[in-house]
Chain A
Amino acid sequence: MDDFEPSVVAFLCNWCSYAGADLAGTSRLKYPANVRPIRVMCSGRVDPVFVMEALKEGIDGVLVAGCHPGDCHYQSGNYKTNRKIKLIKRLLSDLNVDPGRVRFEYISASEGQKFADTVTDFVAQLKEMGPNPLKEGCK
């Protein structure tokens, strides 16, 4: 499986993680190019349906990143997302899909390095896991 390149969708909060990803880019930090970022106004906007749809369509990993605790522009969007992701992971295990395919991180606007490291690590982890089993089924 050496040539397997996992696909990753990243839902990034406009106020922090998206800027963090931008910083990683402008600072020319090295990280795998497998990520397709989607900007959301708050990590709290990420409904489980987004994550499930991505996985169902065969995306190998979903990253959700939001502001650090206490920093969410809408007070508690990040906390709620945190719990939502916990639940998604629980349901994924019931579906026999590795819950490691979904990741939630706090990444601030100044943490370009953390963004690059998170993506690097996530992609490596997904490579080990292999392709998303949902990709094969036609249903």
Chain B
Amino acid sequence: MEGLILVKDGDIASGCNELFKTFLTSGKLEAILVSQETPNGKMAFPALISDPEKLRSNILSPILPVSEASEISRMTINKGSDKPVGVVIRPCQVRALTEIVKLNQANLENIVVISMDCPGTMDVNTFSNLPEGKVPTDIIMDHLLKGTDIDQYLRSSCRTCKDPVPMNADITIGLFGVDLGSGFLVQAHTESGERLLEGVKLEAYKGEREKAIAKVRGGKDAKREAFISSKKEIKGIEAIADFYDKCVNCHNCMNACPICYCKECIFHSSVFDSDANKYVHRAKNKGIMKMPDGALLFHITRMNHMILSCVECGLCEQACPSNIPLMDLLIPVAENAQRELDYYPGKDPDEKLPMVVFREDEYRSVGEK
């Protein structure tokens, strides 16, 4: 089921907000999790809203302060919902959600996933410190309508996004290939999606969506390739150690990551606790030991633990107080690792995680190179 929803004065954000309202007023949804602007318009945060009068969502607001997938995990890790709850989340967050469901960290029982074509998001600081007179939503609308280049505002993960169009959502809000002056597109991909759209007035859509999507993808893919090849010099242990030089061991990157879920991270455990004699022994090993010494091990281990499911949302980078461009390393490494194990995170909910499957014929002995 698909069709256009017409809006007045090209106000897509209000049009979507109205649609979400009807989901609540009709009782089709008990509540909806959606990014909500703060009253001063300077920030937007996901909020779980049950009162339609409180809805002040703006799906065009280009910001992703926290992982929406992590919030869904927080809500559903013990139990899904008894009644339908909608979640309006960005494509990378749907992919992250697909991964954390596989990791048994979320339960999609009665969760209806609504996602949208995503033009990209800004770093929290860019978003809230835009020059006087610049409105984030206008910047995005301008880009969608006239194709203005907005790369200067976007986070690197969004400039190089692999999948700006959602996969595995129940409903997609289509912005690409749509005449946004008159309205936006909605598509239901599943039964629960169709149930939500039942009774909503839809006009026939006659645009060239596939073509528009191919164009957006083509542009992002080229930027991604250029990005990866421009990061080739971060290779070799020296360069990698330099790369993490500014790391202050705060572990914000890990906390911000939707994929890192362990309640008791090994790096917060007593595993590495030691005594003075052992420290001195270790210092003697090389004659010198950086204190604290864990940053490089932390980052490499984190990669080992989550790289196959990394959806390149860039939230780790956004959370880093030292402004380490973490994606410079993560994107190329994720690309290599995921290709090696032939896995595309977030794509197929039924495909098992690579670390839990094994084919009898593979790697009989991994001793050889």
Contacts and interface: CB of A to CB of B under 8 A. Distances in A.
Contacts of B362: 82
A91 B235 CA distance: 11
Contacts, number: 112
Nearest to B272: A53
Contact of B241 (A85, A135, A139): A139
B358 A76 contact: yes
Nearest to A125: B367
How big is the B interface, by class?
Answer: 35 or more
Nearest to B301: A49
Interface string A96-108: 1101100111100
Contacts of B358: 76, 79-80, 82-83
Contacts of A56: 296-297, 300
Contact of A139 (B296, B340, B367): B296
A91 B240 CA distance: 12
A31 B314 CA distance: 48
A52 B367 contact: no
B365 interface: yes
Interface stretch (B103-111, B143-151, B213-221, B330-338): B330-338
Contact of A138 (B245, B288, B300, B365): B288
A94 B334 CA distance: 10
A11 to B, nearest CB: 14
Interface string A112-139: 0000001001100000000001111111
Contact of A94 (B301, B336, B355, B367): B336
Contact of A104 (B235, B237, B340, B367): B367
A37 interface: no
A32 B241 CA distance: 33
Given A82-B363, A89-B366, A137 B301 contact: no
A138 B289 contact: yes
A139 to B, nearest CB: 4
Contacts of B366: 82, 85-86, 89, 103-105
Interface string A41-67: 000000111001100111000000000
Given A82-B358, A91-B300, A91-B333, A97 B369 contact: no
B333 A137 contact: no
Contacts of A39: none
A90 B337 contact: yes
Contact of A48 (B240, B305, B365): B305
Given A53-B297, A82-B366, A96-B236, 5 more contacts: A52-B297, A88-B304, A137-B238, A137-B241, A139-B290
Interface of A: 47-49, 52-53, 56-58, 69, 76, 79-80, 82-91, 93-97, 99-100, 103-106, 118, 121-122, 133-139
17 contacts: A49-B266, A49-B297, A58-B285, A80-B358, A84-B304, A87-B340, A87-B355, A88-B304, A90-B337, A90-B341, A94-B235, A96-B235, A99-B369, A138-B286, A138-B289, A139-B290, A139-B295
